[in-house]
Chain A
Amino acid sequence: MLDYVTSYLSSNTTPGQAGNVVWALIYILIVFAGVSIAVMAMNWLERKALAHFQIRLGPMRVGPHGLLQPIADAIKLLTKEDIIPENADRLVFWIAPLIILCASFAVYVVIPFGPTHAITDLNIGILFMLGVSSLSVLGVVMAGWASNSHYPLIGSLRSSAQMISYEVAMGMAVVSAILMTSLNRSGTGTLSMIGIVEAQQQQQIWYLFKFFPLGFIAFAIFAIAMVAETNRAPFDLPEAESELTAGFHTEYSGLRWSLFMLGEYAAMIAVSSIAVTLWLGGWLRPFPNALTGATWDLAFSLLPGFTFLVLAVVAWVGVIRMPKHSYFRMQTLGLAGFAVLLGLIGLVLFAPPVRDRIQDIFWFTAKVAFFMYMYIWYRATFPRYRFDQLMRVGWKVLLPVSLGVLIGTAVVGMVL
């Protein structure tokens, strides 16, 4: 038994390929915990960043600078009363958030955080991700139907129509990126996620810059379609409060609504990971070929530690600027402790054994975090699309452009 567990450590593959169930379960637990923490951090960051975009402060009371706000939100949602509408179909009402949650989380099985840091590496990785993320449409439709009320029904019809419209453009953009993987030395492309990043490594170019501007347009199409796919601003008409009183999750309260929110944020992180893997080079550090050599490697490997040290300095500046009143003592102490914790993590990330292993995960997470910040930026900046404008963009603008990019990529790939 112990051999079964330790034999994986010497193999150089993902747990799924090594067939090791125990380590696969451990990886699944790590990913699940990581995504949950990321969702809570994203919740805090969204409220603070949105507030600062709108020249106000956001949550400041619950912890120092609102750092404990997500925990307060979670406790509030867990202790709320669970209301089920009168003539609602109870089975479907109960199952709808579970479907969205399972569909969003099942995508994480193939996301590659590093060359061997994935739960498994399916041969049809990208096909699996597209398919499973399209199952969340079913959850949305069922949520609106089971609520037995007008606003959720209209909201779910609009939301699901929007999601299936943008899935087509998304799929075309993905196919044009997959086409680029076939320009390998071996001559065959691959659908596996780790294979796509390794193809970018072999061809020594991020697919964002390949066949410029074709790769960039495909990336832009995917970036727009993924915002529409997750029902986020500016495509959030189905769940906008001023238009439809929260759309398909109007009648859900407490824990069920938090499942919807968890599923939505998890889906956001999942589709951002797809975009990072396909176009932004996954776990590869920036400029792997232009800036080679031991010194550049060392400089780039010091970046994770520096990031955390910078965050610790920012937190320490916040500590210094706290009002010197006895009421703020607890918050000052808490923020100081948080700054010290960040500094310690930064120092740990400077140590050479940790430094070498953390590189891939850090760069992947940094790129996904960039996408998360862009999501918040879009929400603060763009006005909402009206529904007919939304559908027009999806079918009449994105789909022809994505078809053109696909044909262009195929022709240029054959010619060059």
Chain B
Amino acid sequence: MTPVATPFFFYFLAALTLLSAILVITQKNAVHSALALILGLLAQAGLYLMLYAPFVAGVQIILYAGGIMVLFLFVIMLVNLERSQKEEQFNRQWLVGSLAATALGGLLVAVFIKGKALFPTSSTQIAEASNTQQVGELLYGQYMFPFEIASLLLLVAIIGAVVMAKKRI
């Protein structure tokens, strides 16, 4: 892509991500929050593509937007929502909580700006064409043990979710 397009796409996708995050935490209707989160996840997949990580972008779309959000939508449909829409949406300590979180954010940004000298300025250009091959080699080579543990974790999560949601064990 020409150099003009990269900042445009970055600002567009970043604005979309942040806007959808704001919509997630402020919407009264949980279904609208879920829709905003889906939009944010897809915009984030675009950001991953810009960071030369096509495999992670694909995994994000399949798992996060296509799997986890379907789960969320199912559960939102199962729990009764009309009553919760008429209740208070924000709890009593919303101001203190927001201020504390913003202070944390300010701390993070201050750390980034002060420590800017520590980052290498030139990025090692990762070849995008063989990204999947390299991820596969690393995943099944060096990170084989965490891979197996992750599959065990998913098995435990499946059994746990089934036991939790059953009416009678």
Whether both chains belong to one complex is answered with yes
Contact indicator A92/B31 (Cβ below 8 Å): yes
* CB closest chain-B residue, reference A167: B66
- Is B67 interfacial (CB-CB < 8 Å)? yes
Contact indicator A153/B31 (Cβ below 8 Å): no
Interface string of A88-119 (1 = CB under 8 A from B): 01011001000000000000000000000000
- Is B133 interfacial (CB-CB < 8 Å)? yes
- Is B73 interfacial (CB-CB < 8 Å)? yes
Contact indicator A124/B55 (Cβ below 8 Å): yes
Contact indicator A19/B62 (Cβ below 8 Å): no
Interface string of B8-46 (1 = CB under 8 A from A): 000000000000000000000101100100100000000
- Is B47 interfacial (CB-CB < 8 Å)? no
Contact indicator B74/A124 (Cβ below 8 Å): no
Interface string of B60-76 (1 = CB under 8 A from A): 01100111011001100
- Is A374 interfacial (CB-CB < 8 Å)? no
Contact indicator A134/B35 (Cβ below 8 Å): no
Q: How long is the Cα–Cα vector from A91 to B39 in the complex, in angstroms? A: 14
Name the distance in Å between B43's Cβ and chain A's nearest Cβ. Answer: 14
Name the distance in Å between A182's Cβ and chain B's nearest Cβ. Answer: 9
Chain B residues within 8 Å of A157, by CB: 74, 77
Contact A123/B62 with A138-B38, A142-B31 known, Cβ cut-off 8 Å: no
| Count, chain B residues at interface, CB 8 A | 27
Within 8 A of B (CB), among A157-182: 157, 160, 164
Query: Footprint of B on A, CB under 8 Å?
Result: 19, 89, 91-92, 95, 122-124, 127-128, 130-132, 134-135, 137-138, 141-142, 145, 153, 157, 160, 164, 188-189, 191
Contact indicator A135/B128 (Cβ below 8 Å): no
Name the distance in Å between B35's Cβ and chain A's nearest Cβ. Answer: 7
Q: How long is the Cα–Cα vector from A145 to B81 in the complex, in angstroms? A: 12
Within 8 A of A (CB), among B86-142: 128-133
Chain A residues within 8 Å of B61, by CB: 128, 131-132, 134-135
Contact indicator B77/A145 (Cβ below 8 Å): yes
Chain B residues within 8 Å of A89, by CB: 29, 31
Chain A residues within 8 Å of B128, by CB: 123
Contact A153/B77 with A123-B54, A131-B62 known, Cβ cut-off 8 Å: yes
* CB closest chain-A residue, reference B128: A123
- Is B1 interfacial (CB-CB < 8 Å)? yes
Given contacts A134-B66, A138-B66, A188-B130, could you give 17 more A-B pairs where the C-beta distance is less than 8 Å? A19-B1, A89-B29, A89-B31, A92-B31, A92-B35, A123-B54, A124-B132, A127-B55, A127-B62, A131-B58, A134-B61, A137-B66, A138-B38, A141-B73, A157-B74, A188-B133, A189-B133
* CB closest chain-B residue, reference A132: B61
Q: How long is the Cα–Cα vector from A157 to B78 in the complex, in angstroms? A: 10
Name the distance in Å between B49's Cβ and chain A's nearest Cβ. Answer: 9
- Point out the residue from B1, B32, B67, B132 that lies within 8 Å of A123, measured CB to CB: B132
Name the distance in Å between A356's Cβ and chain B's nearest Cβ. Answer: 30
Contact indicator B73/A142 (Cβ below 8 Å): yes
Chain B residues within 8 Å of A145, by CB: 31, 73, 77
Contact indicator B58/A141 (Cβ below 8 Å): no
Q: How long is the Cα–Cα vector from A160 to B32 in the complex, in angstroms? A: 19
Contact A141/B65 with A92-B35, A123-B54, A123-B129 known, Cβ cut-off 8 Å: no
Q: How long is the Cα–Cα vector from A131 to B61 in the complex, in angstroms? A: 6
Name the distance in Å between A387's Cβ and chain B's nearest Cβ. Answer: 16
Contact indicator B70/A141 (Cβ below 8 Å): yes
**A–B Cβ pairs within 8 angstroms, 5 of them:** A124-B132, A131-B66, A134-B66, A138-B66, A145-B73
- Point out the residue from B54, B66, B77 that lies within 8 Å of A135, measured CB to CB: B66
Q: How long is the Cα–Cα vector from A178 to B69 in the complex, in angstroms? A: 27
* CB closest chain-A residue, reference B29: A89
Q: How long is the Cα–Cα vector from A127 to B35 in the complex, in angstroms? A: 23
- Point out the residue from B1, B62, B131 that lies within 8 Å of A130, measured CB to CB: B62
Residue of A92, A95, A135 contacting most chain B CB atoms (<10 Å): A135
Chain A residues within 8 Å of B130, by CB: 188
Chain A residues within 8 Å of B38, by CB: 138
* CB closest chain-A residue, reference B66: A134
* CB closest chain-B residue, reference A95: B35
Chain B residues within 8 Å of A138, by CB: 38, 65-66, 69-70, 73
Q: How long is the Cα–Cα vector from A131 to B59 in the complex, in angstroms? A: 8
Chain B residues within 8 Å of A141, by CB: 70, 73-74, 77
Name the distance in Å between B103's Cβ and chain A's nearest Cβ. Answer: 34
Q: How long is the Cα–Cα vector from A132 to B42 in the complex, in angstroms? A: 10
Name the distance in Å between A251's Cβ and chain B's nearest Cβ. Answer: 16
